[in-house]
A and B are shown apart, each in its own frame.
Chain A
């Protein structure tokens, strides 16, 4: 299966990556090369096969429901490109 230019634009949008119109054809070619490569999976009969959910079968460990971390807002926001009073600053989201 191959994808058209409109699909490439839609995936870029979903991925939140601005893709200049001039870059669409090259990206389309590369994506189609990969989709063409994975097409060979259609040869495999997967009827009745369980999809893998965990590569190492193990029970998830339980722990006591207590706070183990936190109270470090200044450290959490330290690497933010813009912050104020330990809040992340972004353009207005809600009108």
Chain B
């Protein structure tokens, strides 16, 4: 039998339907692959017993010709999603022992449709980071090796300090690495400033941040509530579409989730894009952009043109202000959301002589450095005397950023094409000495999309001179993920999949 972990999610679904293999066989193959890939540190908790029980239930349904849209398909779940009875930590020490009494809406919908859970995936602590290095469980290793490294050298580093190996992006680094390493058929992820799209770009995978409101945020550990959205990372555009269909939908428990029908996203893949108008925003041609990224972008535009789309230059004048405004809005919301981790209701507690000291010592011991800094920045920009100068101003700039997109869409543009990241994956510990702003620049092309609440799809556009994946990003109109899937399908047909060769 061929290695079942090499299948795409859609191929596995067809194979189950045709009874070429069982859900239990498919799940066992993935459990073995997960165990063999522990060095990558993609999973922070493996749940093989849950997976096998779910697979057995799926096999019963499949045998009767029943079952949901994702029946028997093994997935990885980012550790930001609350999973009932299964430890959920947001990869932070402060809730390192938290076992939810509830199931997030997104995961409950995946299980409703028959999905199998292999385990919980690593991420940056509270989803704050762009390299998965802020996780309390340590960094995740990108399945793509650094240029010029042979398998032996990479393996040695894997069992050592991991330095020199590449990051898988962040914050959904466990999700992107697990999909790229074939240790799940697809994964859940979340995106506040680029946390689905940047890791997808770094690992040759496909990820979509849907329109704000498409997926319920209920039961997902909150970072910045006006920006957070859940979405899938998967091996192909079609796999992504299939997963999003199950993840999306109105939820009365999240007042910001929209009550509109969930389209058959998969049907959009393969649809003609002839006559679509694609905008190329000149402001994304940033200073110091590498010739490789520039060429990748032009190649992407040409592929869409060849498929009959019209490519036009557009302007999004406030682009450069999105990242600084984000670093006011996101920490402000985080400082408020993370106030709940106080050592009283859940998580760890450090004793103190009074309640204030208990809070202070608990939070000092429980939060990592990046998280503490963001809480402090957020506290500062919301504090008396600074609110208008920082927070209110940032929210006004957000209005202007959104208006930039609205103007372009009103002029007849259907979607916008940009690079997903300014570079390919960098090395673990490479940014350790850099100031925080350098790390933040990773999100320069993705963060605008969160600020405007739009859908954004990242997918492989090719590889750089070292053979590392480079990603393209398609930005759509609100609630028009279907156009992104159609356009993504066209690019994927030409580029093909960008896969890592197994060495770990």
Once the chains bind, are A79 and B345 in contact (CB under 8 Å)? Answer: yes
Once the chains bind, are A41 and B393 in contact (CB under 8 Å)? Answer: yes
Nearest A residue to B441 via CB reads A37
**What residues of chain B lie closer than 8 Å to A38, measured between beta carbons?**
324-325, 327-328, 390, 394
Tell me the number of A-to-B contacts counted with CB atoms below 8 Å: 164
Once the chains bind, are A37 and B376 in contact (CB under 8 Å)? Answer: no
Binary A-proximity of B365-378 (CB < 8 A = 1, otherwise 0):
00100001101110
Chain B interface size, as a band, is: 35 or more
Residues of A20-37 contacting chain B, CB below 8 A:
27, 29-31, 33-35, 37
Nearest A residue to B390 via CB reads A38
Check A82/B349 contact, CB under 8 A, given A61-B259, A90-B358, A93-B355.
yes
- Interface residues of A, dominant DSSP: loop
Max chain B Cβ within 10 angstroms of own Cβ: one of A7, A14, A38: A38
**What residues of chain B lie closer than 8 Å to A41, measured between beta carbons?**
321, 324-325, 328, 393-394, 397
Once the chains bind, are A14 and B383 in contact (CB under 8 Å)? Answer: yes
* Docked complex Cα distance between A82 and B252 (Å): 32
Binary B-proximity of A59-95 (CB < 8 A = 1, otherwise 0):
0110100000000100111111110000010111100
- Say yes or no: is B13 at the interface (Cβ < 8 Å to chain A): no
* Docked complex Cα distance between A79 and B345 (Å): 7
Once the chains bind, are B379 and A15 in contact (CB under 8 Å)? Answer: yes
Nearest A residue to B386 via CB reads A1
**What residues of chain B lie closer than 8 Å to A6, measured between beta carbons?**
none
Check A30/B342 contact, CB under 8 A, given A40-B320, A51-B392.
no
Check A50/B101 contact, CB under 8 A, given A27-B373, A34-B377, A41-B394.
no
Nearest A residue to B227 via CB reads A55
> Which of B113-121, B133-141, B398-406, B464-472 forms part of the interface with chain A?
B398-406
**What residues of chain A lie closer than 8 Å to B398, measured between beta carbons?**
51-52, 55
Once the chains bind, are A30 and B373 in contact (CB under 8 Å)? Answer: yes
